[in-house]
Structure formats: C-alpha cells, structure tokens
Amino acid sequence: MKKDIILAGVGGQGILSIASIIGYAAVQTDLYLKQAEVHGMSQRGGDVQSNLRLSDKPIASDLIPHGKADMILSVEPMESLRYLPFLSPEGWLVTNTKPFINIPEYPAEEDIMAEIKKLPQHVALDAESIATKLGTVKAANIVMLGAASPFLGLDYDKLKEAISFFFGRKGKDLVDLNLKALEAGREFTRKNMN
C-alpha cells in the first residue's frame, strides 16, 4: 500500500488539521508516514501545500515526485489546479468549490470549474454549504476529508476513530457533528464519482 497525497489550500484554511487526522489514522494502522509542511512566510494568506505520504514500506523522500501523487485534496478550487504537475495520470483530484479570494486577479469561477472538469477523475463539492447545513461551516474541512476518504486506502473506521480522538476533548456533540460531516463528504463522492 502506498498513497501520495497533496493537500492544498491557502494559509490559514487549516489543511494541516486534515493532515493530522489522516496521519493519526495511518499511524494507528501501522503505516509509515512522511508529511512535509509549509511554515513561515507563506502561512500569511499565501498558497500552501502539504505532501503527505503513506506506505506499508519505509518512505525515502519527504517530497512527492512530479506525476506521482495519487490524489490532490484541496480546500480551495484554484489551489487544486496549482499542483496538477504532481498528479499521476490516474490520480484523483478532490476539491472544494468555494473560492477563497484574497488577490485582485482571481480567475472566473466557471473557468476554474472548466479546468477541473477536464480531469478524468475528479470530485468537486461545496463543502461549506454541506457543513453549514449540518450545523457549522467549521466542519467544511472534515466534509472534504470525507469526500477524499474512498481514495485514501485507509480503513474508514480508523478515520472515524481519528476524528473521535481529535475532537474528543471538545465534547461528544462536536465529535458527532464531525462524524456526520465526514459521512456527508463520503456520501457525496459515492454519488458523484465521475
């Protein structure tokens, strides 16, 4: 088993929390893991990514080679496209459709969607709306994680355990809400896998 995942977004959107949950589930599954993060200047509203590598064998490079990523998981639509050179020909692009606009020359949303739809394997969802319907927009990243879950190569129960672990301190309500968010994202992918 080997999964190379590029997590993408804008500094401050919380992609590292997604990485932590996947990481926890991977370690509980006795997988090897390497996770390269971006700290420093770019965290201030710039484009950020994290290279997350899971494998049942020791992992050499901290960076995913170009053309080898099994998935791009992005919490922002334009950012999902920035890392296309890393996606393998048969890789999945899973992205949120809600744009984060903090630059003047942000492209038209329909043009971004047209580029996303060119990819043979993609899932695009409005995670904010789904999360808001469940009770809080804050669960959008967990909706995205749920949407990516069928491609992670991890046992779904392990992911649920990881969510319980991470939100456990904040009470049962928040755990349940995030488990629902996870399921909602997963359900979306099941229904909309192209």
Partner 1 sequence: MQKQLLLGDEAIAQGAIDAGLSGIYAYPGTPSTEITQYVIDSKEAKEKGIVATWTANEKTSAEAALGVSYAGKRAMVCMKHVGLNVAADAFINSSITGANGGIIFVVADDPSMHSSQNEQDSRFYGKFAMIPILEPADQQEAYDMVHHAFDLSEKYQIPVMLRITTRLAHSRAGVARKTSKEQNQLKLPDNLKQFILLPAIARKQYKTLLNNQPHFENEAENSQFNIYTDGKNKSMGIIACGLAYNYLMENYPDRNIPYPVLKVSQYPAPKKQIEKLYNECESILVLEEGYPLVEELLRGMLNHGKEIKGRLDGTIPRDGELNPVIVGTALGFKAPVIRDIPSLVSGRPPSLCKGCPHIDSFFGLNEALEKYGKGRVFSDIGCYTLGALAPYDAINTCVDMGASITMAKGAADAGLTPSVAVIGDSTFTHSGITGLLDAVNDKSNITVVILDNATTGMTGGQPSSAVGKIEDICKGIGVEEEHIRILKPLPKKHEENLKIFEEEIAYEGVSVIIPRRECIQTLNKRMRDKFKAKQKAEAAGK
Question: Which positions touch partner 1 (CB under 8 A)?
Answer: 10-11, 23, 27, 32-47, 51, 59-68, 78-79, 81-82, 84-87, 89, 102-107, 111-112, 115
* Residue 13 vs 185, nearer CB to partner 1: 13
DSSP 130-147: HHHHHT-GGGHHHHHHHH
The distance in angstroms from the start CA to the end CA of the chain is: 24
163 neighbors 142 (Cβ within 8 angstroms):
yes
Q: Which is nearer to partner 1, 118 or 190 (CB)?
A: 118
CB 74 to partner 1: min, Å:
12
Specify the 3-state DSSP secondary structure of 109: helix
Closer residue to partner 1, CB minimum distance, 52 or 130: 52
Lookup result for tokens 């088993």: 1
Name the residue nearer to partner 1 (CB basis): 14 or 107. 107
CB of 106 to partner 1, least distance (A): 7
Q: What is the C-alpha separation between 181 and 66, in angstroms, rounded?
A: 32
How many angstroms separate the most distant Cα atoms in the chain?
Answer: 45
Closest distance to partner 1 from the beta carbon of 136 (Å): 16
- Report the residue number, 121 or 129, with the smaller CB distance to partner 1: 121
CB of 144 to partner 1, least distance (A): 19
Closest alpha carbon to 41 in 11, 63, 17, 19: 11
- Taking the complex as a whole, the smallest distance from the CB of residue 184 to partner 1 amounts, in Å, to 27
